[in-house]
Amino acid sequence: MSLITPSHIQLNEEGRLKHFLTTEGLSQPLLTEILDTADSFISTQERNVKTVPLLRGKTVVNLFFENSTRTRSTFELAAKRLSANILNLDIARSATSKGETLMDTLWNLESMYSDMFVVRHADSGAAHFIAQHITPNVAVINAGDGRHAHPTQAMLDMLTIRREKGPFENLTVAIVGDILHSRVARSQIYALKTLGSTDIRVIGPNTLIPKDIESLGVRAYNNMAQGLKGVDVVIMLRLQKERMQAALLPSEAEYYRLFGLSTDKLALANPGAIVMHPGPINRGVEIESAVADGPQSVILKQVSNGIPMRMAVMAMAMGGQNQTRQEEG
Amino acid sequence: MSLPQPAALLDKMTRDLQNLTAQEQNEVVMIGIHTGGAWVAQQLHQSLKLDNDLGSLDISFYRDDFTQKGLHPQIKSSTLGDIEGKTVILVDDVIMSGRTIRAAMNELFDYGRPAKIILACLLDTGRRELPIQADVVGERVTLADDQRIKLSGPEPLALSMATIAKQGSPA
């Protein structure tokens, strides 16, 4: 599908971000700039007054065609802490023709003078589609599209890794579980590659690992004992039962026995390895409670880092739109 | 036009700041504006023998030209301690339009309510666009329309003159 190839529609003429749709195809300096900007926002989040005036007077629309609690609320908080006005729209998935419905919705929202859309959609490519058809000067942020990409989640994970473990070059990272349905995994792999990680692994049953995954420059394992050896960062993924159309798993108990992150299995990774999970976690399905709540877990730090990361991306994209607007005079 | 040596200006600024804060009842803290102002503040913080931590301010999130220029690509973190009820010496390298200082004051107030703010700048080039004046100035200079002054540092501090191609937005 041509809509979801890596594209430069997310950059303006000066190479600055104007939409944020995917981590694929973005340069290392740009990804580093996003991380540095998010780091700067962290310091503002420790103050009594947590808002900065950057997006004062702007209107951000949270356009969620698919349910989400964490992502939507952190985007909402991020927008508010940038002093933007935010409108939350939860739109149930419509059975009618997607293209038409989407465009009708957009035209209506554009008529309300919105400056930015944060889009979550069950269809891969939805945010790209919107970015291509939107009025000039309106920024689009992808908050997760189908199996394709979830770039702000990937970047908040990169921020967490960099803050906890330092530079990416020497880190071995394993992504464990349902790679097949995971937009998070895909966005993480592109970001990790670009940021310099050379040893990226995916671990899971064959049925949940895409056939062509190694073409992305990662190594695939079907065995936790082998895959976790020497790993510095373990990223667990949620089993996405709602996206599974066929019997891809024998049973949850069997999956947990083989691929669940228990205290024993975590001991196979490097001492001091961090444990991550994009949430929501299924305790006892992909991760043991003792691990999720244990000293190596940074799962709640990921949630905290979600706010400064989303502030960074929103501020940069809005800034990139402003530049364009200026050039158009 | 020959530019002054920063070292001589810093001596003068130190004396002026000493006089200005001699009777100060509140605790005095110093905060430098990134990047040049932070370098100047480092020197003044030493020469004034302030024993509390030197603060720094990156005003990128408070600039009034965000809608024209977007976000600065290299943002540093602001690091400052408690300023509530204190006398803040705010330090910048060059004051021109006054817009940087306005942004810096807006940011300061998101950290607390200082009792007083004293503004100290190495150079004042005039050309003000806002009604903001420095309390302590190393030297006042006059620039042609296309001239801008740049401070390099942190060691040693040196001033240089640059000619800009077109009328840009002042620092």
Q: B147 is in which domain, residue-wise?
A: 6-19+26-66+76-163
pLDDT for the residue A7:
64
Residue A53 near chain B (CB below 8 Å): yes
pLDDT for the residue B166:
63
Does the beta-carbon distance from B69 to A319 stay under 8 Å? yes
Answer whether residue A327 shows pLDDT above 50: no
Which of B31, B61, B69 should we substitute to test contact with A (largest number of A Cβ atoms within 10 Å)?
Answer: B61
pLDDT for the residue B1:
67
Q: What is the mean pLDDT of residues B31-39?
A: 97
User: Does residue B115 fall inside a structural domain?
Assistant: yes
Answer whether residue A173 shows pLDDT above 80: yes
Neighbours of B159 (CB within 10 A): 23
Does the beta-carbon distance from B75 to A323 stay under 8 Å? no
Residue B168 near chain A (CB below 8 Å): no
Residue A252 near chain B (CB below 8 Å): no
Answer whether residue B156 shows pLDDT above 60: yes
Domains and CATH numbers, chain A: 2-148+306-323 (3.40.50.1370), 151-303 (3.40.50.1370)
Distance CA B130, CA B170 (A): 12
Q: Residue B147 belongs to a domain with what CATH number? A: 3.40.50.2020
User: Does residue B170 fall inside a structural domain?
Assistant: no
pLDDT for the residue A98:
56
Residue B112 near chain A (CB below 8 Å): yes
Residue B99 near chain A (CB below 8 Å): no
Instruction: Give the nearest partner residue to A33 out of B62, B73, B110, using CB atoms.
Output: B73
Tokens at A248, concatenated: 């891809």
Does the beta-carbon distance from B71 to A316 stay under 8 Å? yes
User: Does residue B168 fall inside a structural domain?
Assistant: no
Which residues in chain B have their CB less than 8 angstroms from residue A323's CB?
68-70
User: Does residue B45 fall inside a structural domain?
Assistant: yes
Which residues in chain A have their CB less than 8 angstroms from residue B111's CB?
47-49
Residue A127's identity, in one-letter code, is: A
What's the gap in Å between the CA of B112 and the closest CA on chain A? Answer: 8
* pLDDT, tens digit, 9 for 90 and up, residues A115-170: 999 999 999 999 999 999 888 899 999 999 999 999 999 999 999 999 999 999 99
Which of B71, B74, B80, B99 should we substitute to test contact with A (largest number of A Cβ atoms within 10 Å)?
Answer: B71
Strands B147-152 and B158-163: antiparallel
Answer whether residue A247 shows pLDDT above 80: no
Q: What is the mean pLDDT of residues A214-235?
A: 96
Instruction: Provide the domain count of chain B.
Output: 1
* pLDDT, tens digit, 9 for 90 and up, residues A18-41: 999 999 999 999 999 999 999 999
Helix ranges (DSSP H) in B3-160:
6-21, 36-47, 66-69, 99-108
Instruction: Give the nearest partner residue to B75 out of A37, A47, A49, using CB atoms.
Output: A37
User: Does residue B158 fall inside a structural domain?
Assistant: yes
Q: What is the mean pLDDT of residues A89-103?
A: 63
Q: Identify the closest residue of chain A to B59 by CA–CA distance.
A: A52
Distance CA A290, CA A304 (A): 21
For A3, residues 6+ apart whose C-beta sits below 8 A from its C-beta are: A125, A128, A129, A132
For B88, residues 6+ apart whose C-beta sits below 8 A from its C-beta are: B28, B29, B30, B31, B108, B114, B116, B117, B118
Q: What are phi and psi of A20, to 5 degrees?
A: -130, 100
User: Treating both helix axes as pointing N-terminal to C-terminal, what angle do A151-165 and A28-45 enclose, rounded to 10 degrees?
Assistant: 80
Q: What is the mean pLDDT of residues A76-89?
A: 96
pLDDT for the residue A100:
61
User: Does residue B169 fall inside a structural domain?
Assistant: no
pLDDT for the residue B32:
98
User: How does the average pLDDT of chain A come out, rounded?
Assistant: 90
Distance CA A328, CA A163 (A): 39
What's the gap in Å between the CA of A132 and the closest CA on chain B? Answer: 21
Does the beta-carbon distance from A322 to B67 stay under 8 Å? yes
User: Does residue B159 fall inside a structural domain?
Assistant: yes
- What is the pLDDT confidence band of residue A246, given thresholds at 50, 70 and 90? low
- What is the pLDDT confidence band of residue A48, given thresholds at 50, 70 and 90? confident
Distance of CA B163 to the CA centre of its chain: 22
Give me the DSSP letters along B58-77: -GGGG-TTHHHH-S-SSPPP
pLDDT for the residue A90:
76
For B17, residues 6+ apart whose C-beta sits below 8 A from its C-beta are: B44, B48, B89, B118, B120, B136
Residue A319 near chain B (CB below 8 Å): yes
Q: What is the mean pLDDT of residues A68-88?
A: 95
Answer whether residue A329 shows pLDDT above 70: no
What's the gap in Å between the CA of A26 and the closest CA on chain B? Answer: 15
Neighbours of A14 (CB within 10 A): 11
pLDDT for the residue A95:
42
Rounded to the nearest 5 percent, the helix, strand and coil shares of chain A are: 45, 15, 40
What's the gap in Å between the CA of B141 and the closest CA on chain A? Answer: 32
pLDDT for the residue B138:
97
pLDDT for the residue A96:
46
Does the beta-carbon distance from A33 to B60 stay under 8 Å? no
Does the beta-carbon distance from B111 to A49 stay under 8 Å? yes
- Return the percentage of chain A with pLDDT > 90, whole number: 75
Does the beta-carbon distance from A316 to B70 stay under 8 Å? yes
Which residues in chain B have their CB less than 8 angstroms from residue A326's CB?
68
Tokens at A316, concatenated: 């940069």
Range 1-60 of B in CB contact (< 8 A) with A? 58, 60
User: How does the average pLDDT of chain B come out, rounded?
Assistant: 93
B151: closest CA among B3, B42, B2, B15?
B3
Neighbours of B164 (CB within 10 A): 11
pLDDT for the residue A167:
96
Answer whether residue A94 shows pLDDT above 60: no
Residue A46 near chain B (CB below 8 Å): no
Distance CA B107, CA B120 (A): 17
pLDDT for the residue A33:
96
Answer whether residue B29 shows pLDDT above 90: yes
Instruction: Give the nearest partner residue to A320 out of B62, B70, B77, using CB atoms.
Output: B70
Answer whether residue A83 shows pLDDT above 50: yes
User: Does residue B142 fall inside a structural domain?
Assistant: yes
Answer whether residue A328 shows pLDDT above 50: no
pLDDT for the residue B164:
85
pLDDT for the residue A6:
57
